[in-house]
A and B are shown apart, each in its own frame.
Chain A
Amino acid sequence: MKLDFDQFVGEVATEFAGRIERERVQTLLTIEDDYDFDSTRASSSRLILRSLKVVGEKSDGDAIEFEHQFESGLNMLIADNLKGKSSVFKIIKYALTGRNSIKNDVKKWLNRVLLNFDIDDDQYAIYLNMEGSRLSARLVSGRGGSITKFDEAAYDVVLSANSESKFQEGMQDFFFEKFGYYSLQWTQKDSRKDSLQLNRAGITWPTIFKSIYLESKDSSSLIFGDQGTKIFQVLLGLDLTFPINRLSVKKDFLIHELAKARSSIAVVNRPSAEKQHLYDQLAAIEEQIRGIEHESSKESDAVEQYKQYDNLIAELSVTNAKIVASSDRFRQLFKKKSAIQKSISESKEEASVTQRESTKASREILRLGEFLESRRFFSNLDIKRCPSCDQGVVHQRDPHSLNNECILCHKSVEEEDEFDDSLYRSKLEELETAVSELEVRKAELAKFEATLNDELEGVNKQIRAIEAEQSIFEDVEPLKKQLAEVQAKINEQKRTAQLVGTELEKLTSERAVLQYRLGQIDDNAPDDTSELLDIDLQVLEFAISLLQSKRLETAGAILRELEQLMLAEIRQLGLISITEVRIDETFNIEYKQDGSYISFESVAEGEKLRAKLALYLSVIQLEIEHNVGRHVRFLIIDSPAKEEGDSQYLKGLSEVLRNIEDRLGNKLQIVIGTAERALAGVAKHERAFPESEFVF
């Protein structure tokens, strides 16, 4: 949609006629790029993975050689839990974003990664070399062949990075350009404690990647992660989104300015301003004391008071610096503490899954072992007596009869001989190896957890130590008190000095005038500014809501379509209690359940994953079928069946996936990892790893 900027400025200026100049309105509404920025960007493209190769070496010396070809449409990776499915996905994420979330022990195993992918008709390859302590990464155009040899001269190198942060930056630039993404911004308070600054933050490629990679454990967090509605807007790419966002940021800054101006009287009383104030006063007092010294030499201990005053101020600032430093350390320690706690809970979760798998395998060992012994116990027996008439049976085993023949009815007994002993023995051996591996892992995890607990205890100790130190806060109070006393004495002396001569009287009255003026400036200044800012703010608010309604005029139909798609999919996934999906003008999504609208956070725990799946899938469908939006048309879904395993859901999920494969298989790519073997056969391209086997 074309928006005439001059006309728009006119529209807004008319609304505020008489209160603000048109020129000022134009300045306020000007942003760093065109209002039509959204409609001028590249049309949507598609990302498709072609192949992934990973080589490395496990800590026990086993070589890792994983290779997988990806196809358009649905790709299913079936393997038991804890066998490396998620690691494969995290490696893909690392290669595409440079953001690492691979488990530490697994990451140590990896040496080289080669990921081939296409964007529309262009081929690209990413080479990661993780052998050294620093990451070395190349993004080249063309198809990567050998993983071990990378011949730089043979390729057109798009990006060459020798550190993780350089790689992240480069990949962000690359994908932002390819998919026409730009950074919607928002404001946030400066993280430094005393700072009154407001900072600008923008959406990054790893954040957008959350709309591509649905991790197994994040289904309960906000849709698309923390910056949900922003990413949602980027993905939909609706016209006017850019100016609305930039004006909103401007508005935030304005509100902040306004608050600052209005509170500036209060600010004077804040500790930092208080110091300044004290210094000013001191300067004046010094002036006076000097004057008194001129007049009379018997006021010598005024110098002593001044010195004391000066020392107290110095002491105060040292204490203040200490407080700031210890708060910083406190924050760092808390960050460390929560990281350790997260590792502990992850390790606990893995330990409990490991325990379950180990128990399962141990049970199976006993079951099969007992079966083998029983079968041996009852082997080579002749039928001696008829169980029906209780008479002896004379007929003996025919030496020519086949082995797999029932000794009583002589019918062939396939099912028992289908599994001969050797088969069982090897199955048993497999299980025993699995159990011992799982036990080793369990022990490792226990050790790891113990180490983490020690670390946690260490951090807690440090935190307690700092907490004890917090008494320095209390040191400030007596200092202030002393200061006030000294000040009072100085004032007292001034009063005495007044008696000394008229000169001093004049000084005092001059000081009073000065102080009065200072007070006047403080009292008056904010009023003027805040009035001006107030009108600016109203102008911006009006302009934003005008743009929002213009956006809705054109995009309303698209949002309704998306609501319908999401509703249909949610219901197909088994959430029939949801009867309506609503997206409001600020892009919040609400679900109608039992007559009332609820947000995503209020959807029942066991149903969030479905709501989320429905959103992801709908956004892509909207894009393909209505040519709206900027999603890369590629999804990774890790463990969609985990913990929501009711059979209705599994059936619905299979249907939804099949339906998408049939309709859109050649226009999108979805990679799914699951331990749920009932999903076998749903996808055309499937790779199932046998039970208890590792993906790599």
Chain B
Amino acid sequence: MGPSSIRDERGFTLIELLIAIGLLVVIAGLFYALIITTDRGWSLLQGQLDTQQNSRVATDRLINDLQEATDLAVSGGTLTARKITILTCPAAAGDTRIFVENAADIPFPSTVTLAALATTTPATITGTGAGTCANGGTSLTLSAPLPASLTYAFPYGTIVFPIPVTYSLSGTQILRAGAALSDNAGGVTFAQHATTLASAATAGDATITVANTVADTCDFAIGDLVYVESEIRAVLLSPTCAGPAAILTLDQPLFFSHALGSPVGKKLAATQITSRLTQPPIGGGQTQQIILSSEGAPRNPPLK
């Protein structure tokens, strides 16, 4: 052990030490780079997940609302789906409550209209009520200032409307009926593919000429539901879309005349939700951006 042990106990030379330190530095540097890269990748993934999920949730909810609507309106940065529900049990004259199929979006208090036959009546709903209906549904209590009890009887299926659900933007949030639905959003646009009549239409016309919002590009396709002011028709044939105007053949002639420039749109809301997420400034920061476009059309028939 003696002599050999003494040989083994010799220290590292300076060169050996420098090489070792150098190697350590390189390894540490690589490790650091790995950590940074990994963290960035992690953030990237999380950001993508968040932004995608945010947008998906928002668009799914929006499409559901649109399908449950009878009509919709786009104004500025807001979209309003006018939903309906129906009575699930008949209501008798004098009743102070009604049962509706879906009360989820009826705020309290709110004024709705019950419509059956030529009989319509307004009702003020103040909250959920007692009792159950054999067909299911939510019990709602009626109250003043409108008649606190129904003047007329209303059968099952009576339409209760409108139940407006509004989508809007507040900062970076998408609000649904005033409540945050999705964070970190930006660039949300709601559109109805609106255009205008390129020439006046008269009652009985089954073809109309509409302006192309982009020259030579059709805004409408066969099967689209088109509304010309308040009239709703379907596009019967593939439209010709040359130049600034498109000729649309409608499934049924128009009932009324419409002036040049009258609004023409799809009974379909196209939404483009751009969800953005700005990362903390790791490695200079980054922005995730997911763009989801979706379209939904009301499935409920328009009210008279």
Q: Answer yes or no: do A and B interact.
A: no
Which residues of B line the A interface, CB within 8 A? none
Which residues of A line the B interface, CB within 8 A? none
